[in-house]
Amino acid sequence: MTAPTAQATLGGGCFWCTEAVFQQIRGVRSVESGYAGGHVDAPTYEAVCEGGTGHAEVVRVTFDPAELSYRDVLEIFFASHDPTTRDRQGNDVGPQYRSVIFWHDEAQRATAQALIAEYDRDLTFGAPLVTELAPLTTFWPAERHHHDYFRRNPLQPYCAFVVSPKVAKIRRTFASRLAHP
C-alpha cells in the first residue's frame, strides 16, 4: 500500500528552477513542469513565452504530507524566488514568470493566504508580496524536453548561472529537509 500524497501547483519564475529546487527535498515524490492559469487549451512553450496565453510556468509538486506539510512546501517555494516582483524573476520577464500559487482546495488557499499575510506583516522579503492566489483549473504538462532539465543540462549556461545558485541557496537554507544531504 502506498502512502497518500498531496499536490501543490506553484509558479515562481522559470519552471526549470522551481523543478530543480523541489527535486532535492525529502518528502517530495515527483515534480512536473507545466503551465496553468491561462485561457488557451494545450499551450506550447513558445505560445506561453509570447505572453498571450495567460499561463504561468509552474511545477506540480507531489509530496508526502506525513514528511512535508503544505506550509513547508510554500516556505521552500517563497525562499526559492523573489515574490515581491510582478511578472519577473531576474532577467526572465513576462506574465509567464509571475509568482503564483494555484490552490487545490480551501485548506491550501487558507494556508497560502495566512503565510502571505504573515510574510507581509513581518516584511520578511523587505517589500509586500505580489504572489497571486488562484484556484487550479487545469494543469498542462510541459513538453518532455523541459522535464528534469537541470539534471540533464547542468552545464547549459542558464542552468549554470541561474538555476544552480537557486539550488545551492535552498540546499543551505533547508539543509535539514534535503533528500540527499
Which positions are catalytic?
A: 14
Residue length of the chain: 181
DSSP state letters, 2-71? PPP-EEEEEEES-HHHHHHHHHTBTTEEEEEEEEES-SSSS--HHHHHHT-S--EEEEEEEE-TTTS-HH
Please give the Cα distance from 87 to 57 (Å, whole number).
11
